[in-house]
A and B are shown apart, each in its own frame.
Chain A
Amino acid sequence: MKGMLPALSVLFAVLAAAVPWGLPAHATFILSLLAVTMVFCWRIIPGTTLPAYLAMLFGLLGDLLGGGPLGFWALMMLIGVTAGGYAGPFTDGRDLKRLWIVWSIAAFLIAGLSWLLASLYFLRWIDWWPMAFGACASVLLFPVVLHGVLWIRRGRLLPERTALYRRWT
């Protein structure tokens, strides 16, 4: 059951991103991007597995629920997986800064690629603001998502701050 936690949590995030929360038009990119953030976080936590094909399937589910072109969010999920794979493991609290920077680069890459793909798709420049807003929000929320993923993995929130970033090795 514990091995399925990454997949289940990402599935939950993809479903939650599709639910009508009544967010304003410029904030609609955030929820789906948070699911990608979650994929990234699961990839950097040692001892957990979230295969690329599974992330892609969740992305396809997101495409299906969102009504956008099939393959778009699947591609973004794959970028999240690849970035997580290259970022290295999160074994220490000191790794947070490095991983945060890696995620920031990945988030803006995803936002830029989204804007480019959407512009190519419609053969006109589309509004870049929702993507940029989503990327900024996902960068700011990265520690929160990482905290949440760690909480899901442990099943409880430890009271001490140091315990969150304790060494696995």
Chain B
Amino acid sequence: MRGRNSPFKPRPRRTWRAPGELLNFTLYFLCAVLLVLSRIGHGAVVEVRDRLLDVTGPLLEAASIPGVMSRQAVARVRSYMAMAEEIDRLKAENEQLKQWEWRAKLLERNVSHLRSLLHAVEEPALHYVTGNVIADARGPFLRSALINLGRDHGVRVGYAVINGDGLVGRIVEAGDSVSRVLLLDDLTSRTPVLVGRTGVHAIATGDNSAELKLDFLPEGTTLRLGEEVYTSGSDGVLPRGLRVGTVTGAKGAYKVRPYAELSGLDAVSVLFFDTPALIRTDPPPVTAGRPLSPSPEVDEAPAPVPTAAIEPDPGGAPIKQAGAIEPAAAGIAQARP
């Protein structure tokens, strides 16, 4: 008979967990190695990421349909609830805009007259293509969005991305059909800007919060709250005059509240603005039968200037339209009247 203390009692079967532990340790180690390789920007990691970007694009495009539809439904319900107030507000705004339209036309005539007197060179039109956001995955590291436009649509790394409200960010990765937009509020985002009527130079720096910091302001600069901030174009990548936001905060810690609602992006436009700096960092592909051009060819008829009123197809179909903005027309791309 085997008692509790009997030496003959069957021993519990020893489970050998070493392979499992070893596998876990290997996986942890692999993650650490990948993190280090990502930090140093190893070419292999970048290449794998670029290749997989296109593979995941269609998957995300399909997956984003319910999200986009639910957001639209919520927005619609909200707009129905506040419809009466919205109509009153729009009427007042319309009256105000009519006055602005008259004034803008007058100014436009004056500007063209002065330009002709000065023999000024005409600014080239900014071509753009419009698509929508298919992924908005943001974490502690990055504030970015994936859009359903890629190199096939003429998109290249460095191009500015705008929506109806203003600048959103710029392209940092471009696959064939999908691109990644680094948003203005990302920790690594730096945008050279001009502030106010005096055009004070500064750098709008993202810090993963809703507002951007204004760095490198000249010593003793005093800004007025609500002054407009727009791109200076001094980085040689972004066009000058894109609306960024308005000044908030206090002296010594001025901030910029972006016009664009970066956490709720939907339809966005990519501006084809080629500069020598951009062409050097991301040269355009040389394709047979198509000469290099400063901006991608637009086959379709120019579409109206993109505004926030452009709504995606209710069925979830992606927006992909192309057009051109005349800078002189003071459209969405140009901040200053």
Contact = CB atoms under 8 A, between A and B. Distances in A.
Interface range on chain B: under 10, 10 to 19, 20 to 34, or 35 or more? 35 or more
Given A126-B208, A127-B209, A29 B139 contact: yes
Given A29-B139, A71-B32, A20 B37 contact: no
At the interface, is chain B mostly helix, strand, loop or mixed? helix
Interface range on chain A: under 10, 10 to 19, 20 to 34, or 35 or more? 35 or more
A142 interface: no
A64 B49 contact: yes
Contacts of B144: 66-67
A20 B139 contact: no
Contacts of A65: 56, 60, 135, 137, 146
B328 interface: no
Contacts of A72: 31, 35, 139, 141
Given A64-B56, A65-B146, A67-B144, A20 B135 contact: yes
Contacts of A32: 137, 139
B71 A22 contact: yes
Interface stretch (B22-30, B223-231, B232-240, B283-291): B22-30
Contacts of A23: 263
Nearest to A65: B137
B335 interface: no
Nearest to B186: A67
A20 B249 CA distance: 29
A32 B266 CA distance: 21
Interface of B: 23-24, 27-28, 30-35, 37-39, 45, 48-49, 52-53, 56, 59-60, 63-64, 66-68, 70-71, 133-146, 173, 180, 185, 187-188, 207-210, 262-266
